[in-house]
Structure 1
Amino acid sequence: MLSVAWPRTPVARAYELPAVRDEGVSRPFASMDAALHELILEVRQLEQGVGLLDVLLDLYSTRYSRGGDYFTSDSLAYLMTGLAAPRAGETVRDPACGSGRLLRAAAHWARTRGGEVGLSGADIRPMARYAAAVNLALHGFHADLGKGSADTLRAGRSPDRADVILTNPPVNMRDWGHGELKEDERWSLGVPRPGNANFAWVQHILADLTPQGRAVVLLSSGAAHSSNRSDGLIRRAMLESGLVVGIVALPAWLFPHTSTSTALWLLTHEARPNADQVLFADAGKLPTWKDGTRRGFDQESIEHLLGIFRVWQGDRQHEGGDAPGIVPWCRAASREEIARAGFDLTPARYVQQRSTAKLNSGVGGQNWQRELYERMDRSAAARRQVRDALEGRHDHRTP
């Protein structure tokens, strides 16, 4: 029944989706038609069918995701979209679109503000394309999802640039094609290291943005402070080019099936105020909710965080407690300060420094702790430079 009905549905026709599943589950329709028919009859009686899909996507992600490969949650999709703030008429892309939640959030963000955006996405997993197509269709949106599954990192630069890129690529992906892509034109900031695709994704995204484009990317926390020489040089080049707007550290266990800690990187090509600084936020200090295996941010906390970034970027006037200098979990740091820290972009490093400075300010005339921390930072930077030099010699000698 369903194997016959599915190809006739609008979403199947629009995206050319055959009635076939993979990922270890072969053609379930014949054996499950009767049970699915009964389930469909029950679901049709529900008023919140769209909400049911979100629950099912979360359950699927929790059960079948592998390591750093999972669907983005709704609350995280909203936070990422709010940081990028898509505008009417812009094009939004997700090169690792998964269930399509980031594209859906971007379209909803623009529509609720009186505009529409163009959507495009791709994913290496065939079933993700199914999920994204259905997800977008149920919410009244359409995206260009290509003709099938696609490895966008290996495919190279896209023929058309995007104004906004929102993506949650596979975290710390090992087999990303370093050997075949080593001379790729996208690596303008440095060749990404083998065995970890974090900065390959970052540069792929930057290469696909328009000259005024911006992106929000989910990366493992290690990308911000990895001592690998290639990673460090790329971070330095990004900072010196003014590409990094801000970094938001996310709470632990935000994704129930993995303990990998993550952070959001807000990147841009466009001119902005405070271009000589990076805004750091430790969202691990913010309240979260949990419902079974699902975890998300408190909505009020998200709006507060987004307000701080909008004020700092000059998109909104200061109102009450939405300035970075007020909240204890957020702080802007200059390029010079970050350079002294060895181009470490871990938010906690800079947020904690401000907390320490506040503590010391209450001690009459005693600034010895602040001076000590500054000397420790300089010492750490010197040790890192020595290590980088030694690693460089080692790399030079190794055939």
Structure 2
Amino acid sequence: MDLDLWITKVKDGQHLSEDDLQLLCEYVKDILIEESNVQPVNSPVTVCGDIHGQFHDLMKLFQTGGHGDFVDRGYNSLEVFTILLLLKARYPANITLLRGNHESRQLTQVYGFYDECQRKYGNANAWRYCTDVFDYLTLSAIIDGTVLCVHGGLSPDVRTVDQIRVIDRNCEIPHEGPFCDLMWSDPEDIETWAVSPRGAGWLFGSRVTSEYNHINKLDLVCRAHQLVQEGLKYMFQDKGLVTVYGFYDECQRKYGNANAWRYCTDVFDYLTLSAIIDGTVLCVHGGLSPDVRTVDQIRVIDRNCEIPHEGPFCDLMWSDPEDIETWAVSPRGAGWLFGSRVTSEYNHINKLDLVCRAHQLVQEGLKYMFQDKGLVTVWSAPNYCYRCGNVASILSFNENMEKEVKFFTETEENNQMRGPRMGVPYFL
């Protein structure tokens, strides 16, 4: 491996070949496996927060000067993660990479990294190589024994730093427990603990933080995970915790606070879970559930809540059809893969002609599944994320339930919303 050549290549906007990326990932995994869950770091050191695929901002960060969430949302997650892997390989003792909540197979399939790898390499192999590395990333770092760096926050199940050291990190981020909390928790102006509106992790307060720092002889907990408009924000009277951040959120940017986000997300809990057209076409976002045999079972689900991590409500949102017969574990980490026999039996039991769903990008805009065409995926976001190049469709039914598909492409206004990409044509 010529790491210096590869670093120059990626900085110049070129991708590593698929074989070279695989080789790099395997090499870095061998380095990371030797690191502790609480990696000791000596000062002087610079701490940075969320990068989220913003490659040129990362380059500026290095000039300004890295905590987690390297991928998703930005346009160049692949370049960001590749350059960080290269720097880790080239200078293993000088850079520490912490896992964030977006270093997850589930989230990267939702927020763009999976699609980006597909687009840039023509297959999902690069995504698999990178997400395998996620499982080796360390969970925290401690600077001179007095500053704990972690992506999200504290956990009611973790009273001491030593308890972090014994967590099994070589896995997908769980939906609950100490590993999950370290990735997902947030500080709040409270005293102790509260349920997090994120649906994972906890809100933790001033007394929790000061007690944790006292027990572990820490001066500071340093974390990322939350947008702070000013880039850095100390919390609590004793300033025992600081949030370091470097990524924009739309509601924060347009309104200057999170109120709009709160108003909109409150509405989410009132949205219906499915619709049925003339009693014969079931419309649902994701797919079917092994816990839901009949449409009547959907009617009694309590929907006025955050989407759970498992169970029928979760499955209706997250499941995907697959070319199998029955059920399989979903690579998304939520919901299930379901097959032809499951779908045909569900349609027969409920006297349905069709299950109509979305949730998965289909380049052609609409795709029927299975021999009996008992399920269709309708995708209505053209050029998804302003970058996938797909067409979109809508499916119409007339008064006789005859179907008509209408395809469309992005509008000129949509096409012009590519601001962040126009300065980096070599990444397209």
TM-score (norm 1): 0.26
- Give the number of the structure whose residues are more often helix, by fraction: 1
With structure 2 as the length reference, what TM-score do the two structures score?
0.25
